[in-house]
Amino acid sequence: MAGPGMVDLTLRIRRFNPDVRPDPWWEEHTIEAEPNDRLLDALHRVKWYQDGTLSLRRSCAHGICGSDAMLINGRNALACKVLVKDVAPRVTVEPIRGLPVLKDLIVDMEPFFAGYRSILPFLVNESDPGDRERRQSPEERARFDDTTKCILCAACTTSCPIFWGDGEYVGPAAIVNAHRFVFDSRDQAGKERLAILAEKSGVFRCRTTFNCTEACPRGIKVTQAIQEVKRAVLFNRA
Ligand code: SF4
Ligand code: F3S
Ligand code: FES
């Protein structure tokens, strides 16, 4: 029984360790936590006091680094942004879907980053900026403000059924990051990016399912960004 002001939380965790068993299995751990603790704190308590073999990624613990995206009660979220009081007395935790699981909650992010790299996620401008920085009006800056907020957590891409079923689709996170540069008035590689996204692995694989928008912990309008990029590809506008 939890002490005063505390709650019991049972974590049902999907485990995987190819060195121990060929298939995944479920394990349950019950810990005591403060209601305002994050789920990440609860996972730490399991790892530090009950089973040191539990593996997970995390770094900042404040919703910035994007490393602790996981499937929490069937929805993608950052464990550091979910409060114990919102899931107690029981929560199910699994690795994000659509990427190979390496161990427990850790997936191989390389296919995700390959999609990200494919859209040239950097500013391209060979012209001489002169003795001042390249200037931009507030309106020009606002055009791509939403998509600058991406933290590359992969919650969107790994919630997308098209991505699960098709290893070729670059996925919503890559398109969000293409949007960030395609609509940047200082960038000169928009047409190149749009040509990449017009290919069969690109934007037209999206079936407007909206899972990505629901999953984004940064509140980015992911599906809207994808629609804007689709229109830019169709009308060759960058
Ligand atoms: Fe994560 Fe949102 Fe970026 Fe997708 S768009 S990687 S969900 S921050
Ligand atoms: Fe997938 Fe999002 Fe499109 S979930 S189908 S990328 S709207
Ligand atoms: Fe950095 Fe959660 S640990 S976003």
Instruction: For residues 46 and 107, give the distance between their C-alpha atoms in angstroms, rounded to a whole number.
Output: 19
Ligand 1 contact via 218 beta carbon (within 6 Å): yes
Closest by CA position to 94, among listed 170, 24, 2, 187: 24
104: left (phi over 0), alpha (psi -120 to 50) or beta: left
Q: Which stretches of the chain drop beneath a pLDDT of 70?
A: 237-238
Both structure tokens of 125: 């401008």
Kind plus residue range of the DSSP H or E element containing 111? helix 110-118
In tens, the pLDDT along 134-176 reads 999 999 999 999 999 999 999 999 999 999 997 789 999 999 9
* Structural domains of the chain in order of their starting residue, each with its CATH number: 7-107 (3.10.20.30), 110-234 (1.10.1060.10)
Instruction: For residues 195 and 214, give the distance between their C-alpha atoms in angstroms, rounded to a whole number.
Output: 28
Q: What pLDDT score was predicted for residue 133? A: 86
Ligand 3 contact via 39 beta carbon (within 6 Å): no
Q: What pLDDT score was predicted for residue 116? A: 97
Task: State which amino acid sits at residue 182.
Answer: V
Instruction: For residues 20 and 54, give the distance between their C-alpha atoms in angstroms, rounded to a whole number.
Output: 13
Pocket probe mutation, ligand 2, options 75, 76, 96, 160, max atoms within 8 Å of Cβ: 160
Q: What pLDDT score was predicted for residue 237? A: 61
- State whether the Cα torsion 46-50-55-59 is positive or negative: positive
Strands of 34-118, DSSP E? 69-72, 75-78, 90-94, 101-103, 106-107
Instruction: For residues 16 and 80, give the distance between their C-alpha atoms in angstroms, rounded to a whole number.
Output: 22
Q: What pLDDT score was predicted for residue 132? A: 84
Atom of ligand 3 nearest to the CA of 57: 3
Both structure tokens of 112: 């995700």
Q: What pLDDT score was predicted for residue 1? A: 76
Both structure tokens of 79: 């464990």
> Which of the ligands is closest to the CA of residue 220?
1
pTM strictly above 0.75: yes
Q: What pLDDT score was predicted for residue 53? A: 98
